[in-house]
Structure 1
Amino acid sequence: MTKGTFGPGALELRHLRCFLAIADEGNITRAAARLRITQPAASRTLAALEDALRARLVDRSTHHLTLTPEGRAFRDKAAVAVAAFEDALDVGRSVRRALRLGHAWSAAGAYTTPLLRRWRATHPDVPLELLRVDDRTAGLARGAVDAALLRGSVGTPGLVTELLYTEARVAAVPVDSALAGRGRLVLADLAGHTVALNTVSGTTTLDLWPVDARPTGTITVANTDDWLAAIAASRAVGVTTTATADLHPHPGVVYVPLPDAPPVPVFLARRDGPPSHPALRDLCALAHEVTGRD
């Protein structure tokens, strides 16, 4: 890294937002599209940030960008800084801003409506805002939400998780498939089919199957809507949890129990450190109460 042409004091919030978008997307072009700026502008902003910090934050040696150790450490600090800035602005807008709860798909499944209704009854002065954010941490790592409902393993540094419950897995098959009429399926029944994988926020990978009995092919999608569309069009089958069956019924898709697949844990996650919202602890307590865990 060359010696910086300006110091950290000259940095602006846009530098942090740009870096967090790149960290989430793993791609400068997609990050630029999210920020509604050009790819060269995003590259210049990242370079200016690295120059000011005198540290390499992003490893550009591969097609899919990865964060350096310095980048991973800075991501958590940048997310906290952006969230703190947004909280400061909220002071002038309302005494009690909405509590933002992120999810990448299916929220809390069948518990979603009870959770929202109970919150409204017990905290009428603090709106609970449910936000779908299509990334691995549902917007939590970049400060877009105060807490998030996350499924599967959560390995993002700087997050604290609490297990709420587990969900059984189900197969999702086209309504006219021979598999649709079965009362239950096993993973081996899907091995002869193409499987749709949500590589952005999904919990299903080929590791779910034994190495010698994996599906014949895969197609990748970025969100639940595209995943459902691919299955309904008979391009693939899928594996998901009962939450998807509860919240995303589809006329072209049938959900069939998949009892030999391991269940999926559902966590309530927040950023490490001081709560980003004064009602966050109340949300954690209510989420455990509604889902039945102490």
Structure 2
Amino acid sequence: MRAFVAVVRHGSYTGAAAELRVTQPVLSRTVQQLEAILQVRLLERSTRHVRVTSVGEQFLDRAERVLGELAQAVAAVGAQRTLRLGFSWLLPDPWAQNTVAAFENATGATVTVMRRDDPVAALHRADVDVALLRGDPDLGGAADVQLFDEDRIAAVSTRSELAGRQRLGWEEIPMWPLVVNTVSGTTGNWSWPGGERSVEIVTCTNYDEWLETVAADHGIGVVPVVAARRSNHSGVRFVPLAGAPPVPVRLAYLPATAGALVRHFLDAATGTPA
């Protein structure tokens, strides 16, 4: 019915095929299948024009009403559907807001954002449907889609001798104690494989602890630049960092349980600029 209505509305198979994102031969066969089911001729075809038959005009009115009611029914059900997006700290912006809007507009479903210290564990216990991750954590068998990279920035206490610096170099970081979020952090000893490593590691297990530990001047931190835009802590100063490798941002999901909503969200996520 959608194929038939689209052909009538556009007055051609070309425009209807473009709207429905199918080829013209596929669209033509679809309309022919509808005619075969109904055992009537709905359209008169020529090399230049498509004309609706009298029977087709009667069917068109009813088909449009049926499709309208179907759209309302789907929208009503969609409003009750929710996709749970897990994250450990600070969703990337404006990517997150744009992706959520694109997904909700396309599906009628809603996105619930859920902060979890360990989004991968939350994914495996079915606490979330999709997990946003930074860096290269162990996915435990989950699949992932890489979205984009984020630059790194240094974070120091306002009481630190580094607070007055205008820039730090990546090679300088191992000279000071490094505050590491061991659960969802993106920078640690593993960030310098086979090379220089921090002399001292100060550990914590979530972003809030990381921020307060840096503010207390127990060490310096290195995080994606989103933290500088979104974290307003009077005891922390963010300092540009030269030469640091970027941080990959990815979405993880479980293919065995990924339904249509997850697939739609992945489409929206990969189609949204960072």
Q: Same fold (TM over 0.5)?
A: yes
SS at structure 2 position matched to 1:137: helix
Q: Is the 8 A contact 1:171 1:258 kept in 2?
A: yes
Amino acid at match of 2:89: W
SS at structure 2 position matched to 1:258: strand
- How far, CA to CA, are the matches of 2:186 and 2:156 in structure 1? 17
Q: Which residue of 2 aligns with 1:281?
A: 263
Q: Which residue of 2 aligns with 1:226?
A: 209
- How far, CA to CA, are the matches of 2:177 and 2:217 in structure 1? 10
- How far, CA to CA, are the matches of 2:193 and 2:270 in structure 1? 34
Do structure 1's residue 142 and structure 2's residue 125 form an aligned pair? yes
For residue 189 of structure 1, report the CA deviation from its aligned partner: 2.6
- How far, CA to CA, are the matches of 2:121 and 2:225 in structure 1? 19
- How far, CA to CA, are the matches of 2:142 and 2:181 in structure 1? 22
Alignment map for 1:179-194 (pairs within 5 Å): 179-194=162-177
Alignment map for 1:90-109 (pairs within 5 Å): 96-109=80-93
For residue 211 of structure 1, report the CA deviation from its aligned partner: 5.7
Q: CA 1:214–1:237 in structure 2 vs 1: closer, same or farther (change >3 Å)?
A: same
For residue 158 of structure 1, report the CA deviation from its aligned partner: 2.6
Q: Which has the larger radius of gyration?
A: 2
- How far, CA to CA, are the matches of 1:234 and 1:122 in structure 2? 47
- How far, CA to CA, are the matches of 2:256 and 2:104 in structure 1? 26
- Deviations for 1:101-147, whole angstroms, at most 9, x for unmatched residues? 11112223442233334444444x31101111111516112211111
Aligned to 2:235, which of 252, 259, 266?
A: 252
State how many pairs are aligned: 198
Q: CA 1:121–1:151 in structure 2 vs 1: closer, same or farther (change >3 Å)?
A: same
Q: Which residue of 2 aligns with 1:239?
A: 222
Instruction: Give the alignment's Cα RMSD to 1 decimal.
Output: 2.4
Amino acid at match of 1:189: E
Q: Is the 8 A contact 2:103 2:264 kept in 1?
A: no
Q: CA 1:248–1:162 in structure 2 vs 1: closer, same or farther (change >3 Å)?
A: same
Residue segments in structure 1 that go unaligned for 5+ positions in a row: 1-92
Q: Is the 8 A contact 1:168 1:259 kept in 2?
A: no
Residue segments in structure 2 that go unaligned for 5+ positions in a row: 1-76
Q: Is the 8 A contact 1:187 1:209 kept in 2?
A: no
Q: CA 1:251–1:120 in structure 2 vs 1: closer, same or farther (change >3 Å)?
A: farther
Q: Which residue of 2 aligns with 1:204?
A: 187
- How far, CA to CA, are the matches of 2:162 and 2:102 in structure 1? 39
Amino acid at match of 2:175: G
For residue 196 of structure 1, report the CA deviation from its aligned partner: 0.7
- How far, CA to CA, are the matches of 2:237 and 2:231 in structure 1? 11
For residue 175 of structure 1, report the CA deviation from its aligned partner: 2.0
User: Percent of aligned positions with the same letter in both sequences?
Assistant: 35
Q: Is the 8 A contact 2:214 2:236 kept in 1?
A: yes
Q: CA 1:252–1:138 in structure 2 vs 1: closer, same or farther (change >3 Å)?
A: farther
Q: Which residue of 1 aligns with 2:114?
A: 131
